[in-house]
Amino acid sequence: SPDLLQTIFSDLNTQQSEAVRHMDGPALVLAGAGSGKTRVLTARVMHLVQQGIAPWSILAVTFTNKAANEMRQRIRSQLGPAANDAWIGTFHSIALRILRIEAHHLGYGNDFVIYEPAESVKVVNKVIRKLNISSDTLNAKRALGIISSYKNSNHSPQDILADDAPFEREVIGPVYQHYQELMSSFNAMDFDDLLVNLKRLLSLDAEILAKYQQRFSYILVDEYQDTNLLQFELIYALGRQHRNVFAVGDDDQSIYRFRGATIENILNFEQHYPQAVLFKLEQNYRSHQTILDCANRIISKNPRRHGKQLFSDLGAGEKIAVKVLPSAEDEASFVVNQLGELMAKGFRPNEIAVLYRTNAQSRLFETFLLRSNIPYRVVGSFEFWKRREIQDILAYVSLIANPRNIQAFERIVNYPLRGIGATSVEKIVTVAMDTGMPVLEAAAMVEPDLRGKARKSLQAFLELIGSFNGGQDYLMGDLIHELVRKAGIERDIRTRDDENQAQSRLENIGELISAATAFDEKYPSEQAPIQRFLEEVNLGLETRQQTTDGVNLLTIHSAKGLEFPVVFLTGLENTVFPSPMSMGNQFAQEEERRLMYVAITRCQEKLYLTRAQSRTLFGKTAFCGASAFLREIPDDLTVKL
Ligand code: ATP
Ligand code: MG
């Protein structure tokens, strides 16, 4: 209807309208942050339907489920229930939907189950045992990580079995192959399998390929710069017949290289799709000009970019506030004070975001927010004290402090894996409950009944806990530091988690040690520090109120695609951001720069950049200089607070 057309185009500019009006043939919208790419994508779905295209023949791929829901809702508000027929979702949810119809062509039942990583690990363990591979050579988590990266770069087990490198050919290849066979015999897929199997399905069976190529007459992809090879090939295969692939993205916002995303997908779009029409959007509707100037200045130093212009009509706006604080605690305290003032001026908590480079940095902000009674939510992760590695270590500390803590005992008696089985644990807990004796005593009593490795392990475990002597005479920082080492937690994390995951967990543990060290300094003459420490932690966990309207705490990675009136970009130090791990690696350094660009461009009005001159990392206080990025920002854009 003309009304609908009116609504679709009334809030689009000329460039955006042109992109939305584009009908047939491949097209790429390449444009900077906040220029309305996601809005164009949404409007285009509505326009296609308005033009008489059947909703069920439209496929729109988003980066997160959250984005998919928002898009569906917006479309539904204009088109009504017809919107439900459009295929809108992430790569994984779309693949799942197709495989529920077609999986039987691949030898699965259509009612296949999806395995969580924890379940997949068990399957890999079976394979490793069956193939007689020693756990020193390869453990299950690591194997899964490697298999996952092969899947995402589109390598089959056969490819790896023919690899030049002996480890790949003789160890990984067979594990990969057997894992797939076993999973398939369980009628199970892991997350990666969803994409891999869709790809297999489409290359295996010409009829099925043709069916979906015909069905999806229009394909739209958001955040195209962060697609990986496999995702590229899926879109390419599905779009082959109608060639109506419409991708939007920003090469400057490619920040998932470490997960296999390849910026080449966007840089080579015109080669992959000859005759592609290129649209550029140049007006940014999100941020004031000062913020844009700052972002442009930073990103202009990356080589190999598609040149882009970006201007804002929103006026210069306020200058960017820069604040240097003596310590990371002072930084958190400053940020929380400022946002308290902003809220007093009428900003709602969820209009404010606190961004940081590493997940571990959330701890101090959470502490100060709790203290000030300001509601918050940690987006894309658990709250600091609820993260798995933190809870594991707290369970150790609790058991050291209290030999009766059954819950803590159950959590860590077999973590890291020591070969103490569920039956033994059950026996110990039953004895403790029946007799009322401390669970550690019950364990000592049951121990002679156990056999072989389990017995030795339990002995060692009890010795380990005993060696801390109830935590008497320990500083908390020292206790946790020693515990992490002695219990083999660090080693476990390094060998079991993939590199990024491991890094993040170790950073969290480092932050825990820093928290404990700060506690020691705060209570130098405490009689029973371990009790007091646990009380403080638990108090923090309990007083926390659940909320939907809270200040947003999030890593820069989790902030992609989002926008906030107020942004605090924190930890701008040379030891934090750009990540010291990117040193000496040009690609990694360029990615850090894109991260900085993403961070700045989340902000609509008020941008605060903060850094601390000292930060306690892993319990050691170190002095730090300004981030190179901070030094690059011209003085006339900023004001020092
Ligand atoms: P990112 O690169 O961060 O994903 P984007 O290019 O997808 O950004 P959008 O999120 O679609 O940008 O739009 C940014 C903001 O600008 C949103 O609040 C959106 O509603 C608004 N916006 C986009 N186009 C217009 C327009 N023509 N008129 C008014 N507001 C607009
Ligand atoms: Mg977007």
- Work out the average pLDDT over 256-280: 90
Q: Which residues participate in the annotated binding site for ATP?
A: 31-38
Q: Is the pLDDT of residue 539 over 80?
A: no
Condensed to tens digits (0 to 9), the pLDDT of residues 33-80 reads 999 999 999 999 999 999 999 999 999 999 888 889 889 998 898 888
Expressed in angstroms and rounded, the spacing between residue 313 Cα and the centre of ligand 2 is 19
Q: Is the pLDDT of residue 473 over 90?
A: no
- Work out the average pLDDT over 305-315: 86
Q: Is the pLDDT of residue 82 over 90?
A: no
Decide: 578 and 617 in contact? Cβ < 8 Å.
no
Q: Is the pLDDT of residue 518 over 70?
A: yes
Question: What is the predicted pLDDT for the residue at 247?
Answer: 97
For atom 30 of ligand 1, which residue has the closest CA? 285
Confidence of residue 294 (pLDDT cuts 50, 70, 90): very high
In testing the pocket of ligand 1, which one of 7, 39, 44, 560 has its CB within 8 Å of the most ligand atoms?
39
What is the number of the ligand 1 atom nearest to the C-alpha of 41? 11
Condensed to tens digits (0 to 9), the pLDDT of residues 93-113 reads 999 999 999 999 999 999 999
Residues in the chain: 641
Q: Is the pLDDT of residue 540 over 70?
A: no
- Work out the average pLDDT over 233-241: 95
User: What percent of the chain lies above the pLDDT cut of 90?
Assistant: 75
Expressed in angstroms and rounded, the spacing between residue 300 Cα and the centre of ligand 1 is 22
Q: Is the pLDDT of residue 417 over 90?
A: no
Question: What is the predicted pLDDT for the residue at 545?
Answer: 61
13-22, 316-325, 490-499: which has the minimum mean pLDDT?
490-499
Q: Which residues participate in the annotated binding site?
A: 31-38
- Orientation of helix 140-152 relative to helix 229-239, angle to 10°: 40
Expressed in angstroms and rounded, the spacing between residue 298 Cα and the centre of ligand 1 is 21
Decide: 553 and 341 in contact? Cβ < 8 Å.
no
Confidence of residue 83 (pLDDT cuts 50, 70, 90): confident
What is the distance between the alpha carbons of residues 432 and 581, in angstroms, rounded to a whole number? Answer: 48
Q: How many Cβ atoms from other residues are within 10 Å of residue 302's Cβ?
A: 15
Which of the two residues, 142 and 94, has the higher pLDDT score?
Answer: 94
Confidence of residue 149 (pLDDT cuts 50, 70, 90): confident
Distances (CA, A) of 470 to 156, 537, 543: 52, 18, 27
Distances (CA, A) of 39 to 69, 71, 299, 558: 14, 9, 23, 20
Q: Is the pLDDT of residue 261 over 80?
A: yes
Which of the two residues, 165 and 36, has the higher pLDDT score?
Answer: 36
Residue 109 phi, psi dihedral angles, 5° rounding: -80, 150
- Work out the average pLDDT over 407-415: 94
Question: What is the predicted pLDDT for the residue at 542?
Answer: 66
Q: Which ligand sits nearest to residue 565's alpha carbon?
A: 1
Question: What is the predicted pLDDT for the residue at 304?
Answer: 80
Q: Which ligand sits nearest to residue 66's alpha carbon?
A: 2
For atom 31 of ligand 1, which residue has the closest CA? 285
In testing the pocket of ligand 1, which one of 285, 292, 308 has its CB within 8 Å of the most ligand atoms?
285
Q: Which ligand sits nearest to residue 44's alpha carbon?
A: 1
What is the number of the ligand 1 atom nearest to the C-alpha of 602? 3
DSSP state, residue 169 = I
Q: Is the pLDDT of residue 245 over 80?
A: yes
Expressed in angstroms and rounded, the spacing between residue 154 Cα and the centre of ligand 1 is 34
Q: Which residues are catalytic?
A: 37-38, 222-223, 253, 602
For atom 13 of ligand 1, which residue has the closest CA? 36
Confidence of residue 137 (pLDDT cuts 50, 70, 90): confident
Question: What is the predicted pLDDT for the residue at 549?
Answer: 84
Question: What is the predicted pLDDT for the residue at 221?
Answer: 98
Decide: 516 and 477 in contact? Cβ < 8 Å.
yes
What is the distance between the alpha carbons of residues 31 and 126, in angstroms, rounded to a whole number? Answer: 48
What is the distance between the alpha carbons of residues 26 and 617, in angstroms, rounded to a whole number? Answer: 49
C-alpha distance across the termini of the chain, in Å: 54
What is the number of the ligand 1 atom nearest to the C-alpha of 253? 2
580: closest CA among 428, 390, 358? 358
Q: Is the pLDDT of residue 543 over 80?
A: no
Q: How many Cβ atoms from other residues are within 10 Å of residue 287's Cβ?
A: 26
For atom 28 of ligand 1, which residue has the closest CA? 11
380: closest CA among 403, 358, 411, 405? 358
- Work out the average pLDDT over 580-607: 95
For atom 19 of ligand 1, which residue has the closest CA? 36
What is the number of the ligand 1 atom nearest to the C-alpha of 32? 2
Which of the two residues, 187 and 540, has the higher pLDDT score?
Answer: 187
What is the number of the ligand 1 atom nearest to the C-alpha of 598? 3
363-367, 401-405, 534-538: which has the minimum mean pLDDT?
534-538
- Work out the average pLDDT over 200-215: 94
Expressed in angstroms and rounded, the spacing between residue 367 Cα and the centre of ligand 2 is 32
Confidence of residue 546 (pLDDT cuts 50, 70, 90): low
Confidence of residue 458 (pLDDT cuts 50, 70, 90): very high
What is the distance between the alpha carbons of residues 240 and 385, in angstroms, rounded to a whole number? Answer: 49
Decide: 281 and 35 in contact? Cβ < 8 Å.
yes
Question: What is the predicted pLDDT for the residue at 167?
Answer: 87
Which of the two residues, 239 and 67, has the higher pLDDT score?
Answer: 239
Q: Is the ipTM of this complex over 0.90?
A: yes
For atom 4 of ligand 1, which residue has the closest CA? 561
101-115, 361-375, 518-532: which has the minimum mean pLDDT?
518-532
Question: What is the predicted pLDDT for the residue at 372?
Answer: 92
For atom 27 of ligand 1, which residue has the closest CA? 12
Expressed in angstroms and rounded, the spacing between residue 403 Cα and the centre of ligand 1 is 57
Which of the two residues, 332 and 452, has the higher pLDDT score?
Answer: 332
Question: What is the predicted pLDDT for the residue at 544?
Answer: 63
Q: Is the pLDDT of residue 134 over 90?
A: no
Expressed in angstroms and rounded, the spacing between residue 286 Cα and the centre of ligand 2 is 11
- Work out the average pLDDT over 528-537: 89
Q: Is the pLDDT of residue 307 over 80?
A: no
In testing the pocket of ligand 1, which one of 38, 40, 41 has its CB within 8 Å of the most ligand atoms?
38
Residue with tokens 């033009």: 51
Expressed in angstroms and rounded, the spacing between residue 36 Cα and the centre of ligand 1 is 3
Q: Which ligand sits nearest to residue 40's alpha carbon?
A: 1
Q: Which ligand sits nearest to residue 33's alpha carbon?
A: 1
3-class DSSP assignment, residue 163: coil
Q: How many Cβ atoms from other residues are within 10 Å of residue 581's Cβ?
A: 12
Question: What is the predicted pLDDT for the residue at 58?
Answer: 97
What is the number of the ligand 1 atom nearest to the C-alpha of 40? 11
Structure tokens given for 237: 């295969």
**Average pLDDT taken over every residue of the chain:** 92
Decide: 606 and 565 in contact? Cβ < 8 Å.
yes
For atom 11 of ligand 1, which residue has the closest CA? 36
What is the distance between the alpha carbons of residues 517 and 510, in angstroms, rounded to a whole number? Answer: 10
> Which of 74-83, 434-443, 486-495, 540-549 is modeled with the greatest confidence?
434-443
User: What percent of the chain lies above the pLDDT cut of 70?
Assistant: 99
Residues in contact with ligand 1 by the CB-under-6-Å rule are 11-13, 16, 31, 33-39, 250, 253, 285-286, 561, 563
